[in-house]
Homo-oligomer: A and B are copies of this chain.
Amino acid sequence: MTAAEKHQAGRNPAAVPQPPAGRCPQPRGGGRLSGRAGIRDVAAAAGVSITTVSDALNGKGRLPDTTRSHVREVAERLGYRPSAAARTLRTGKSGLIGLTVTTYGEEPFTFTEFPYFAEMARAATSTALARGYALVILPAPARRGVAGLSGRPGHSGPSGPDVWSNVALDGTIVVDPSEKDPIVTELVRSGMPVVSDGKPGESLPVAAWVDNDHEAAVRRILDHLAESGARRIGLLTGTSTDTYTRVSTAAYLDWCRRVGQDPVYERYPAHDPCAGAVAADRLLARPDRPDAVYGLFDPNGTDLLAAARRYGLRVPEDLLLVCCSESASYATTAPPITTLSLKPGRIGTTVVQLLIDAIEGSSPPRPVQQVMPTELLVRTSSQRAGARTTVSPPRAPAAE
């Protein structure tokens, strides 16, 4: 009996030694994917063992080229497609990496609409594919305990069944983890490589992180506004505890202390678009109204412009404006608004590279960190004199 015949026979209950009792040996359970050929079918058709098939197709083992090409031919003829699930189970590698934003917890899944996230995710997807991985965007996992213990059948949150327990991830990218993010802790503890976009809190043992130097960026913007003649600079900031918000706000307060200005700021839940407009209004309605404002979030430029209009303030004559945004449309508002770009594309690329390095290599004991530059696009809204409109001129960071 040749190997081929053996494998052929393996499909035929009658020709095989019976199991201990009179159990029925025909396929049950998950039930074979009816039409498709499996590795055994290929082996049988090619007259070799399944090992040889596996080796031939994966370029492993020490097979003569004749065998290899023969097997490949047969596989192709049968339309054989290896089962990714089986390979994943066997090797422990799925080739899938997750991307998630935990900051807003149970909030509905709207963050993909933010230009920053959209661009970051786009770059991350491309980079992952270029390295042979696919990227999966996932909502923040369910809050309590072992997320989605109940698997697909269960439902665990406003956004439907918990997907986390249904996808095998080789690693995860977490965007803007909060200070001591329980989700990140849980992920890391379960042995998953995690890389964060946004410097994580001290206690978060991520494998690596990427971030902008938000401190320097804020300093630079405030200096820029001061140079343009601002006497009292206000800040529109958020209530959440992610790095970006924390560091930027701290940098603002620090700058104020240094130059001897009283801080003038309003905080609002950044994920709520309406709250932004209200906060912008509040800021300009204050008795100690600032004559320049930096808004930490993308829509702040529009909101502040609208609020300024309501209060009869001209931009930039009465109010200087800068906001952090990835939207090109601020180049064409009236007046065009100066923005700080965090370069999310680069961040997405870098964060994926680091994650895959962590997955494939042995990760170093100390987390790898990488600081990415920002870009200040100076436009009309932040220049009182009709000065230059240069893009990110090389400039030393403000002296400390």
Interface residues of A (CB under 8 A from B): 29-31, 33-36, 57-60, 72, 75-76, 79-96, 109, 112-113, 118, 122, 125-126, 129-139, 145-146, 149-154, 159-163, 165-168, 189-191, 328-329, 332-333
**Does A130 lie within 8 Å of B159, measured CB to CB?**
yes
Q: When the two chains form their complex, are residues B35 and A151 in contact, meaning their CB atoms are under 8 A apart?
A: no
The complex places the Cα of A72 from the Cα of B82 at a distance, in Å, of 35
A89: contacting residue among B72, B86, B92, B96, CB under 8 A: B86
Residues of B with C-beta under 8 A to A80: 146, 149
Q: By the criterion CB–CB under 8 Å, are A163 and B134 in contact?
A: yes
User: A167 to B139, alpha carbons, bound, how many Å?
Assistant: 20
Contact B129 A122 (CB under 8 A): no
On whether A85 and B82 interact (CB within 8 A), knowing A138-B129, A146-B76, the answer reads no
Taken together as a complex, chains A and B put the C-alpha atoms of A7 and B149 apart, in Å, by: 21
The smallest C-beta distance from A22 to any residue of chain B, in angstroms, reads 19
Query: A52 CB to closest chain B CB, in angstroms?
Result: 15
Q: Is the CB of B328 within 8 A of A58?
A: no
Known: A129-B159, A160-B132. A165 touches B81 (CB 8 A): yes
How many copies of the shown chain assemble into the complex? 2
Q: List 8 A-B contacts (CB under 8 A).
A: A30-B91, A36-B191, A80-B146, A88-B166, A93-B152, A132-B166, A134-B166, A329-B329
In whole angstroms, how far apart are the Cα atoms of A317 and B165 in the complex?
60
Task: Report Cα–Cα, A72/B30, bound state, in Å.
Answer: 25
**Cα-based distance from A161 to B151 in the complex (angstroms):** 31
User: For A152, what are the chain B residues with a Cβ–Cβ distance below 8 Å?
Assistant: 93, 95, 132
Main secondary structure of the interface of A (DSSP, over half): loop
When distances are taken between beta carbons in the complex, the residues of chain B under 8 Å from A88 are 85, 88-89, 166, 168
Query: Least Cβ distance of A43 to chain B in Å?
Result: 15
Contact partner of A168 (CB less than 8 A), chosen from B75, B84, B150, is B84
Q: In the bound complex, how far is the Cα of B118 from the Cα of A151, in angstroms?
A: 30
A295 to chain B, nearest CB (A): 19
Q: Which residues of B contact A190 (CB under 8 A)?
A: 35-36, 79, 81
Interface pair B58/A153, CB less than 8 Å apart: yes
Q: CB distance B153 to A59 under 8 Å? A: yes
Q: Which residues does chain B contribute within 8 Å of A150, judged by CB atoms?
A: 57-59
Task: Report the separation of the CA atoms of residues A22 and B394 in the bound assembly, to the nearest whole angstrom.
Answer: 72
CA of A224 to CA of B92 in the docked complex: distance in angstroms? 59
Q: What is the minimal beta-carbon distance from A356 to any residue of chain B, in angstroms?
A: 11
Beta-carbon contact of A168 and B137 below 8 Å: no
With A30-B89, A85-B85, A151-B82 in contact, is A137–B134 under 8 Å at CB?
yes
A130-B160, A332-B329 as given contacts; A165 in contact with B84, CB under 8 Å: yes
Contact A129 B139 (CB under 8 A): yes
Q: How far is the CA of A58 from the CA of B155 in the complex (A)?
A: 11
Which of the listed residues A60, A72, A152, A328 has the most CB atoms from chain B within 10 Å of its own CB? A152
Q: Judge whether B112 and A125 touch: CB under 8 Å.
A: yes
Shortest distance in angstroms between A306's beta carbon and chain B's nearest beta carbon? 15
Q: Is A146's CB under 8 angstroms from B75's CB? A: yes
* CB proximity of A127 to chain B, nearest CB, Å: 10
A169: nearest chain-B partner, CB-CB:
B84
Across the interface, which residues of B come within 8 angstroms of A58, CB to CB?
Answer: 150-151, 153-154
Q: Provided the pairs A95-B152, A152-B95 are in contact, do residues A79 and B329 lie with their beta carbons within 8 angstroms?
A: no
Which residues from chain B contact A136 at a C-beta distance below 8 Å? 96, 134-136
List B contacts of A329 (CB < 8 A).
328-329, 332
C-alpha spacing A332/B331, complex, angstroms: 10
Which chain B residues border A85 with CB–CB below 8 Å? Answer: 85, 88-89, 92, 94, 168
Q: Which of B35, B57, B122, B132 contacts A113 (CB 8 A)?
A: B122
Q: Are A167 and B33 in contact (CB under 8 A)?
A: no
CB neighbours (8 Å) of A72 from chain B are 149
Q: List chain B residues, Cβ under 8 A from A75.
A: 146, 149
